Homo-oligomer: A and B are copies of this chain.
Amino acid sequence: MTHKVVIIGAVAAGMSAATRLRRLDEAAHIVVLEAGDHPSFANCGLPYYVGGVIPERDSLLLHTPQSLAARFAIDVRVRSRVTAIDRAARTVTVTLADGSTYDEAYDSLVLSPGASPIVPDIPGASRALTLRDVSDVDRLAAATADAGTALVIGAGFVGLEVAENLAHRGLDVTVVERAPQVLTALDPELAIRVEQRLTARGVRVLTGASVISLGPADAVVTTADGATEKVAAGVVVAAIGVQPEGSLAATAGLALGPRGSILVDHDMRTSDPAIFAVGDAATKTDAFGAEPALIPLANLANRHGRRVADVIAGRPHRAAASVGTAVVGVFGLTAAATGRSERRLAAEGRPYRAIHTHPLDHAGYYPGATQMALKLLVDPATDKILGAQGVGEAGVERRIDVIATAMAGGLTASSLADLELAYAPAYGSAKDPVNMLGYVAENLAAGETPAVQWRELMDAEDEPVVLDVRTAAEHARGTVTVPWQAPLVMPLDSLRERHHELPRDRRIVVHCQVGQRGHTATRLLRQLGYDAVNLDGGWLTWRDAQASLTREPVPASAA
């Protein structure tokens, strides 16, 4: 007997489910109901069409109902909103644009309605545009034509993509973010580099700020220092996050997850065995915790679409637990993250160890090498990798991918040292940045080089001696300063001669530029009997962290 599968939502997860199901079961009757105008469009490409980076609108439209019918014998119906599920009858009610309705029966139902951009609840909010589908992008493109200025509310992945693209279109862009930093998937000492890049390219960034109201051509913003100012806003884009579309599931009495999402098990099955849910509306299994998680990422949506088809076709295939891996490009800078951030681990009260490095993307003696910032989060008890993040000009996504893969394989942080990664001078280093993270992890796990974090040094009650082991010239260009001590420099290469100048009864926090010479100095001093520790990430991490704490809001005239 023919199995009839109805799928709600024709983008990433829904279309992956539909096409996979067809390949597994030529006899299945597959109906896809899409509320919008287009199936299977390139939603991750929308900001780049706004910016003109993707010049052709048609290139966003990957399929049509006709092409899907021809290739996969799938019955795709656009402008067909499902407004009710009758679980007892196993039917859904479809409402068309003209208000007419009909019922469609199913044997299995897949909910893939996605998530809707959140519009801030402020006066004038109806002006705010959002970016979810091709119609939205058309509206935004039209609105930007004569706008001159733009306000982007929210500095997450999508917000920053929109900001960059509006700047590409020549608009004067202000980004307002309620959190004290951009890109909260990253920790502040890494995210600050992205903020600095935005500012350097003329985008005004207001963090710790809130939009209070929207006027016809401007917005009222409360800034971090509590002041209120008007910000020009010829066009307004809200990118403050997404709300899982769980209302249909809720009305049908299905069990819900956090924030009104649709709760599913490892097989992506809801509390009704005939109904499945995938994509941004559905919960994910968290690789680091017992609670169902929301991870609205395209790669998981596509994957789980495929998996749910396997399950429906009788090939049970539990979805792997998710860590969440994401990347964004911002004016040539790449920021990427996988797993947990330090902020989130701290909020969860979970023990962790942080490692900061600043490796070159390839051998320093080969032209064009650039320095990136990497951070690794490690479980100190098990050496398990909890997360990683990076910001840099080149090679960042590669290292984050490698670490995400190591996490999937259950490799310990220390064993990153042994990974055999592709090396030639133009491509990396004989000791790849990921290997170096492993070396540091190993040294920390063995207690060889105890490290102190930038924040721990700021808060240190014992007022340790802070010792710069770089050269005098490097020291003069900027160094770690603490209120209890004048800056002190003693270059690494002079340490064997001069160490007797140091006190033996106080803790010594050693630092260099990135942590590597500091490691050597710490090892030396500890073997000589000093209570030395290394400032993790060295001067660069300290400098970035201070910048993230102390930066002044950019004055309006500089924007």
Contacts and interface: CB of A to CB of B under 8 A. Distances in A.
Kindly report how many copies of this chain are found in the complex they form together.
2
A315 interface: yes
Interface string A240-251: 000000000000
Contact of A54 (B366, B408, B423, B492): B366
A320 interface: yes
Interface stretch (A430-438, A454-462, A544-552): A430-438
A546 B300 CA distance: 38
A163 B25 CA distance: 53
Chain A, interface size category, equals 35 or more
A61 to B, nearest CB: 9
A297 B411 contact: no
A494 to B, nearest CB: 8
B300 A12 contact: no
Given A408-B411, A409-B411, A302 B431 contact: yes
B42 A427 contact: no
A134 to B, nearest CB: 12
Interface in A413-446: 415, 417-428, 430-432, 435, 439, 446
A366 B524 CA distance: 51
A54 B367 contact: yes
Interface stretch (A86-94, A106-114, A205-213, A397-405): A397-405
A350 interface: no
Contacts of A306: 417, 439
Contact of A320 (B62, B322, B415): B415
Contacts of A492: 71
Contacts of A365: 42, 45, 54, 59-60, 62
B329 A427 contact: yes
A37 interface: no
26 contacts: A26-B524, A45-B365, A45-B366, A54-B365, A54-B367, A54-B425, A59-B365, A60-B365, A67-B493, A161-B424, A299-B421, A300-B420, A302-B430, A302-B431, A303-B431, A324-B420, A326-B424, A327-B422, A327-B423, A327-B428, A336-B422, A402-B405, A404-B420, A405-B406, A405-B411, A409-B410
Given A55-B367, A300-B420, A327-B423, 8 more contacts: A24-B448, A44-B424, A319-B418, A325-B423, A326-B424, A329-B427, A404-B419, A404-B420
